[in-house]
Structure 1
Amino acid sequence: MKISAVIPAYNSAKFVNAAVASIQAQTKPVAEIIIVDDGSTDETEAVVRALPGNIVYYKQANQGPSAARNKGIELATGDWIAFLDADDQWTADKIALQKAILEKYPELVLVAGDMAEIDNNDHIITESVLAKHGMLEGFQDLAGQAIPNALARLVTKNFIPTGTVLAKRDILIAAGGFNADIRFGEDLELWAKIATYHPIGCLPQRLMLRRQHGKNATSANESMLLDLTKVMDSIRTFSEQQLKHQGLDPNQLVADAFWNLGYWYFATYKSNLARNAFVSSLKQQLTWRSFAYLIASSLPRLLVLRIRKFKQRIS
């Protein structure tokens, strides 16, 4: 088993040293570290070239993290790929824990895990993201076994942080790699493709420290919500029958994505865009919720403000 670690980097001079150090500190070492510099304009190249160890450095024009990860997969000589963003860090036993679970459950083609969140000073903000989202106990019960109905669980809540993933290289390639046309949710799309046809696992142990700062904030915004409509439509296309088999309505997934987009527009008083999104939601699935918000987004803004104030008072 030969593992290649892939790091996409963009203007990462401040943190990439710590990311690489966390890989080199593994109790079970990886064979190589591939750093794909995605068009950095800071000192990233100089910092990386000064680092010791088996590091492959490749620089390309800026194309986004998905294209950088795909290039890393292409350059890798390992049969297994592990990912880490340049501003994050692995815990020291990350690879050891994953190797152990793969020895126990060799049918798995992808193993992820829990993570903590840290600030720019490496202070822990969140001890367990799985616990934060109420999922830790379920993965503790599974103890690394193949996840039942993993596809349905993924599209309900993406529980796989990219920086914790260890996956078979040929499976990543067969699934098409990361979709470079999508900026938000491209990881979910890839994991869903893999989970549609293969067993995957998720360890309850903390495998990564993810840095929280403005550059990687993923609070709801228009671009993210637009991309998620594309992601859910894509997942429906290649996993429709599997989703149905696992108890989910594929059309409802897409309808909900459009409703979330419509509600964001509605909440930010972009009425025309809200109406278009709610109409798109209704085309996927007829629901009273979408119909009600379609009507509400057609009302005068002043009336909407009064309705909101009334709802706040009675609640």
Structure 2
Amino acid sequence: MAPPRVSVIIIVFNGETYLAEAIDSVLGQTFTDFELLIVDDGSTDASREISAAYVEAHPGRVRLLRHPEGANRGMSATRNLGLAHAQGDLVAFLDADDVWVPGKLADQVAILEREPSAGMVYGRALIWHDWRPDAVEQDFVYDLGVEPDQIYRPPHLFHLQLKNVYQTPTSSGSLLRKSLVDEVGGFEAAFKGMFEDQVFYAKALLAAPTYVADAVWFKYRQHPTSATATSAAAGADDRARLRYLTWLSRYLANRRADPEAQRAVRRTIADLRLSRAKGFARRVLRKVRR
């Protein structure tokens, strides 16, 4: 039996609330030549039972993976476990609280077939508030920062990602060639939470041309228990980004990467540190004036 064309990887940690909806959005794809690997990262809720029910209902198509002894090892190590078992020559990720639109895989596979030089394709994410009946904020999409529906060679999109204001590749919104994933070494296990995806996609954007599409292929659910919302509420975003940028600077230096890319990262680190220092000074001044 031939291996599937696409390996879809969903990682989950205590995601029982939204997991079934994510899985259903994969099984509802118009493109059907895929396998679904659900990788549990030591959940203590009903995530494993929900996943196991889908495995039983879809034998041969859906598989459930766990770390040895059901350990919790973080997002990067959990994605890498899925990659180690992936059989497809194309790889897609879906976060357990997000949802794909039905034509996501069909559209993206067709693009990579049409554009053999592209190692990856991504489009827009719908920033999704409307899933809640009482939502106050409106759904929206971010600016791509480039003209869509064309290929960009490295390092153009890498520099765009550094700005941290545009829509760049996301785990739920991209499709990659497995050869590219293997070339860049997958995800960095030291990044267990925030910016684990940006670490990976920075490497990918430097390694291969990428096709940027104008399409909206997934809904990025906004809720207060997401990793992004939790980090923002704790005021940890800048610290996490600084850690990511510091890692990236070392990564580029060790590989003797494009000097301009190295300078751009160092400038971004300096700007972020200056911004944090100014923010700290403003907070101290407000306290003094009280």
TM-score by length of 1: 0.76
Question: Which aligned pairs between 1:117-156 and structure 2 lie closer than 5 A?
Answer: 117-119=127-129, 121=131, 126-130=138-142, 134-135=143-144, 138=146, 141-146=147-152, 149-156=156-163
Provide the rounded CA distance (Å) in 2 between the counterparts of 1:156 and 1:214: 25
Question: Which aligned pairs between 1:234-249 and structure 2 lie closer than 5 A?
Answer: 234-239=247-252, 244-245=259-260, 249=264
Provide the rounded CA distance (Å) in 2 between the counterparts of 1:164 and 1:178: 16
Question: Which aligned pairs between 1:234-313 and structure 2 lie closer than 5 A?
Answer: 234-239=247-252, 244-245=259-260, 249-269=264-284, 301-302=287-288, 305=289
- Deviation track 1:220-255 (CA, whole Å, cap 9, x = no partner) reads 754332221122122223346766546963321221
Offset at residue 46 of structure 1 (A): 1.2
| Equivalent residues, number | 269
**Aligned counterpart in structure 2 of residue 59 of structure 1, from 61, 66, 69:** 66
Provide the rounded CA distance (Å) in 2 between the counterparts of 1:222 and 1:91: 32
Do the aligned partners of residues 206 and 184 (structure 1) sit closer, same or farther apart at CA in structure 2, a change above 3 Å counting? same
Aligned match of 2:30: 27
Offset at residue 181 of structure 1 (A): 2.1
Aligned match of 1:69: 79
Offset at residue 263 of structure 1 (A): 4.1
3-state secondary structure, aligned to 2:10? strand
Amino acid at match of 1:224: D
**Aligned counterpart in structure 2 of residue 16 of structure 1, from 11, 14, 19:** 19
Q: In proportion to residue count, which structure has more helix?
A: 1
3-state secondary structure, aligned to 1:42? coil
Amino acid at match of 1:33: L
Provide the rounded CA distance (Å) in 2 between the counterparts of 1:83 and 1:150: 20
Provide the rounded CA distance (Å) in 1 between the counterparts of 2:139 and 2:224: 20
Do the aligned partners of residues 200 and 300 (structure 1) sit closer, same or farther apart at CA in structure 2, a change above 3 Å counting? closer
1:172 matches 2:181: yes
Provide the rounded CA distance (Å) in 2 between the counterparts of 1:265 and 1:29: 52
3-state secondary structure, aligned to 2:246? helix
1:84 matches 2:94: yes
Task: Identify which of structures 1 and 2 has the higher relative contact order when contacts are C-alpha pairs closer than 8 Å and 6+ apart.
Answer: 2
3-state secondary structure, aligned to 1:117? strand
Aligned match of 2:116: 106
Provide the rounded CA distance (Å) in 1 between the counterparts of 2:257 and 2:159: 9
Do the aligned partners of residues 176 and 43 (structure 1) sit closer, same or farther apart at CA in structure 2, a change above 3 Å counting? same
Offset at residue 135 of structure 1 (A): 2.9
Offset at residue 71 of structure 1 (A): 0.9
Amino acid at match of 2:236: S
Offset at residue 171 of structure 1 (A): 2.0
Do the aligned partners of residues 222 and 243 (structure 1) sit closer, same or farther apart at CA in structure 2, a change above 3 Å counting? farther
Unaligned 5+ residue runs, structure 2? none
Structure whose CA Rg is larger? 1
Unaligned 5+ residue runs, structure 1? 270-298, 307-315
8 Å CA contact retained: 2:128, 2:140: no
TM-score by length of 2: 0.82
Provide the rounded CA distance (Å) in 2 between the counterparts of 1:176 and 1:219: 29
3-state secondary structure, aligned to 1:179? coil
